[in-house]
Structures are given as structure tokens and as C-alpha cells.
Amino acid sequence: MSPPSLSTARQLLDLISASLTTLEKSCSARGVTIPDIQDPFHPASEAFRVGDPAAAEAANVITAAALHLAAIIAPPQNTLYMAAGGFVKSTAVRVCLESNVTEILREAGPEGLHVDEIGAKNGQDPQKLARFLRVLANHHIYREVKPNVFANTRISSMLDTLKPSQEVIANPEQKHENTFGLPALASHHLDEMFKASAYAWETLADPATAKSGEPNEAPLSRAMGVKETLWEFYARPEQAFRQRRFNIGMQGVRALEPVDASLGAFDWESLPEGSVIVDVGGGVGTSALPIAREHPSLHLVVQDLAPVIEDAKKVWASKMPEAVTAGRVTLEVQDFFKPQPSSRHVSVFFLKQILHDWSDEYCVKILSNLRAAASPRTRLVLMESVIPFACHDPNADESQSAIPGAASKEAPEPLLPNYGVANDMGYTADIGMFLMFNSQERTASHMKDLLRRTGWKLSGIRRREGGGSSFLQAIEAEPIVD
């Protein structure tokens, strides 16, 4: 008689145990430790997970398995309300972020501070503040050290602007200036995006907007009572603070990406001398800079709208002026909804985080313009998050053999193949793109269809290291030639 098979719960526990052993071995070999939740965040505190792919994978498996185990064991109504009551946690994070609790608690140190004293500093009602802090303490974001005395954790310390509390309390409009950007990003999400989320269903229930891909018909427009895109809304003089906070937040996102991500996006070395690479919607040229530095024989064209190209000129004048004066780098005003200059032979059209800003109907226009300007040898390189299904993809093996990298790495059973909540950021970004722009992140098969509709064939996906990460992969395509 065969032994009874292990329950899913026991299999998950075994995965946690084996992965923790792997993680601990990796840490001791590298001389790093798993940090305490009570210690403040520092880039060095995360070394235990990064730097060794086996440690990164083990950390992802532990996270996914622990949350899966909790979903099995906890009363379903509790788990349902972790999602349905998500607005409570968003509210609590917003209250603590905007009332500068993290800065105040940083100054108080690990012993924490009584909520009466927190209230005396930030002007909030201590009784109300304690309730918000306690909700977050249940999730290890803040800690209730003793009754009504709270301290930061490694998670809440991510909301720290690192400025003196008196300064951020006295100058809320200046709070995010010269910070690393994550508190600004969270503040933006908890304001514009949170308000937009409250109108998501109203937008989907209205036949006039249910299937719209127009950026001025996103839930954000309904929430703000304007038929404007986010950019038009920000251009209003009274929205100057939100616009500035958004820009600082975006710098924060870029700071989380490897600075030279574009270097690994394509085999730039394979291109002959003088080959032209066009960075479409290239911003100020953040991606083009490392390519121009490492591959001086290539000609880079950074295209964007006029005000951005004006900024780009300043950036290149300070960082790599000789590249522009020698003609290796061209900074060019070009609307990607208009045809590309016809006389240029382009080796690579490069688009980083462009398509996720636009619905399919707009992406078709952008990609068709590039296809019209492509020769049979032109390659298209897109840097986008590629979203895996939350189940095994039965077509993945087939598409993997036809398209290198098309299938994402799957988590070990019985975990969700996409690592579930451990890989949540891409899915959060996807819904965020809907709320703000009526746009989206895409699965590999969606991307393949979009490319095919516009005359491009998906030829491969270069995936970055790290278990199941969906964030910023390089997608390569070539023209379909009849």
C-alpha cells in the first residue's frame, strides 16, 4: 500500500523549511544575515535576498508558500476581508504617511513613542491615530511596543523621507523634494490612484466607458470629475504639487531599476559600426546613456516630445556632451503617433515602458508607424513587464520551443506557477495602469498578438534573473515579411 500523499499544507511547510535552509546557507556563505523586522530598512538590509539567485529564489518560495499556507488555514472570511478591506489598510498607510509618523518614530528610536506624543508633534487626534497604527501593526508595518506606544519596523521605515520631522511637518509642500522617491510614489498612489480605484466599477458599469481605451475616460477622470488625461489634469496650475510629486515618484521607480537595464536588453555588440538605434519615447535618454557609453560605434537617436527633448539636451550636456557634438547621439522631437522620418535606415527601434501607458488601439498606431519605417533587417526591442498567468500555461512548452524565453519560470508545486502574491507588483502595476490611463501591462501571448496585428513577429524574450519576476523583460520582434 502506498503511503498517503502529503497534504498541500504539509507540502507548503516542507517547501518553506527546505528553502529557509537554502537561504541560511547562502547567507552564511556570503557573511550576511536575515534582518530583524524591527530594524530600519537600508539597501544593505536586503543583501540576504539579492546577490545570489538561489537566495532570491528561496526567498520568493518562502513568501509564496507562507501566504498560500495562511490562505488554506485561516478562516476564509478573514482572507476575503484582507482583500475586500484593502481600503482600510490603504487609508491607514495614507494617514500615517501624510501625518509624518515614520519620521517622528525614527527620531524616537526602537523604544517607540506614546501616541499622545506623536499627536502632540503632528497635530493628529491620538485616539484616532492609535487605531490606524494598530491596524498596520497587525501587518508588521509599525509595531505596538507596549499599549499605545508605537515604533517603526523595516517596512514602515520605507515611508521615511529621511528629513527631520519638524521640517516635513512645517513644509508639507516641500516634503518630497530631494528624497529617493518611494514616499512620493506611495503618496501619489494613495491619493490619485486610490481615488480613481473608488470609481473603477462605475467606469466599467457605464456602457459609455466600459470598453473604452481612451486615456481621458479612465477611472481617474471620473474620480476627478474631468474629461482629461492624467497629463492634462496635472497641467492645471492648481495641480502643481501633484505633478511634482508624480515626477519625484517616477525617479524613485527608476532608482529601483538597474541603471544599465538597457545594456542587457539586446546584443548591441552584434550591430555593425554606425548602426542606428532609435529610442522611441526615450525621455531624457536614461536608457540611451549606458548604450552610448559602452558602444561608442553606434548612432543613438533619442526621440520624445519637445519639452522633454529640451530637458534631454541639458542632461546630455552635463553627462556626455561630446556624444551629441560628435553626432553619435541625436536628440529629436518626434511624436510616436506620427510617421517616422522616411530616409533613415534603423537597425533597432527601442521602446522602454511605452506600450504599458497605452491601450491596444493606441499601441497599434505606435507599432504600425514603426513597422512602416522598418526594413526587413530592423529589430524591435520592447522593455515591458510581461505578466504570467496565475495558472500553468498549457501552450507555454510549445511557445517556448518556438520563441526563446516566451515561457516564464514556474514556481515548484503546489505553489501557484507565477509565485502568487510573492510576485504581486506587476499585477498591481497592471491595475494601476487601468485606473490612471485605461492602459495595461500585458501577458506574453497578448504582446505576441499585438505585435502580429501590426506586422511584427515576436522572436524572443530576455528574462532577468530572479524567481518568476515579471518586472521589465526585453521583448524582441522582427518584421513579418510576406
Q: Which residues bind ligand SAM (CB under 6 A)?
A: 281-283, 286-287, 304-305, 308, 335-337, 352-354, 357
Going by DSSP bridges, is the β-strand pair 149-151/276-279 parallel, antiparallel, or unpaired? unpaired
**Minimum CB–partner distance for residue 51 and ligand SAM (Å):** 25
Which H/E stretch holds residue 87? Answer: helix 86-98
Instruction: Give me the helices (H) in 157-212, please.
Output: 165-170, 182-188, 194-197, 200-205
**C-alpha span between 460 and 477 (Å, rounded):** 7
**Minimum CB–partner distance for residue 183 and ligand SAM (Å):** 20
Please report the beta strands in 12-170, taking only residues with DSSP state E, as ranges in sequence order.
113-114, 143-146, 149-151
Residue 204: helix, strand or coil by DSSP?
Answer: helix
With beta carbons less than 8 A apart as the criterion, state whether 223 and 198 touch.
yes
With beta carbons less than 8 A apart as the criterion, state whether 440 and 430 touch.
yes
- Residue 31, classified by CB atoms within 10 Å of its CB into exposed (0-12), middle (13-18) or buried (19+), is exposed
Q: In this complex, which beta carbon is closest to ligand SAM, that of residue 49 or of residue 352?
A: 352
Task: Extract the C-alpha cell encoding 87.
Answer: 481600503
Task: Extract the C-alpha cell encoding 321.
Answer: 556632451
Task: Extract the C-alpha cell encoding 304.
Answer: 520624445
Contacts of 269 (CB under 8 A, 6+ apart): 295
- The residues that are catalytic are 356
Q: In this complex, which beta carbon is closest to ligand SAM, that of residue 389 or of residue 471?
A: 471
With beta carbons less than 8 A apart as the criterion, state whether 166 and 181 touch.
no
**Minimum CB–partner distance for residue 421 and ligand SAM (Å):** 26
Q: In this complex, which beta carbon is closest to ligand SAM, that of residue 211 or of residue 338?
A: 338
With beta carbons less than 8 A apart as the criterion, state whether 319 and 340 touch.
no
With beta carbons less than 8 A apart as the criterion, state whether 212 and 438 touch.
yes
Q: In this complex, which beta carbon is closest to ligand SAM, that of residue 18 or of residue 315?
A: 315
With beta carbons less than 8 A apart as the criterion, state whether 369 and 337 touch.
yes
Distances (CA, A) of 186 to 45, 96, 145, 235, 250: 21, 11, 25, 21, 11
**Minimum CB–partner distance for residue 135 and ligand SAM (Å):** 33
**C-alpha span between 95 and 129 (Å, rounded):** 8
Query: Prior bond to 414 cis, omega within 30?
Result: yes
Residue-wise DSSP of 232-257: HHHTSGGGHHHHHHHHHHHHHHHHHS
C-alpha closest to that of 438 among 113, 220, 115, 187 = 220
**Minimum CB–partner distance for residue 250 and ligand SAM (Å):** 7
Q: In this complex, which beta carbon is closest to ligand SAM, that of residue 332 or of residue 478?
A: 332
**C-alpha span between 109 and 175 (Å, rounded):** 21
**Minimum CB–partner distance for residue 476 and ligand SAM (Å):** 17
**Minimum CB–partner distance for residue 262 and ligand SAM (Å):** 9
Which H/E stretch holds residue 462? Answer: strand 456-462
Q: In this complex, which beta carbon is closest to ligand SAM, that of residue 425 or of residue 481?
A: 425
Q: In this complex, which beta carbon is closest to ligand SAM, that of residue 210 or of residue 253?
A: 253
**Minimum CB–partner distance for residue 433 and ligand SAM (Å):** 10
With beta carbons less than 8 A apart as the criterion, state whether 188 and 246 touch.
yes
**Minimum CB–partner distance for residue 333 and ligand SAM (Å):** 9
Q: In this complex, which beta carbon is closest to ligand SAM, that of residue 283 or of residue 290?
A: 283
Q: In this complex, which beta carbon is closest to ligand SAM, that of residue 48 or of residue 350?
A: 350
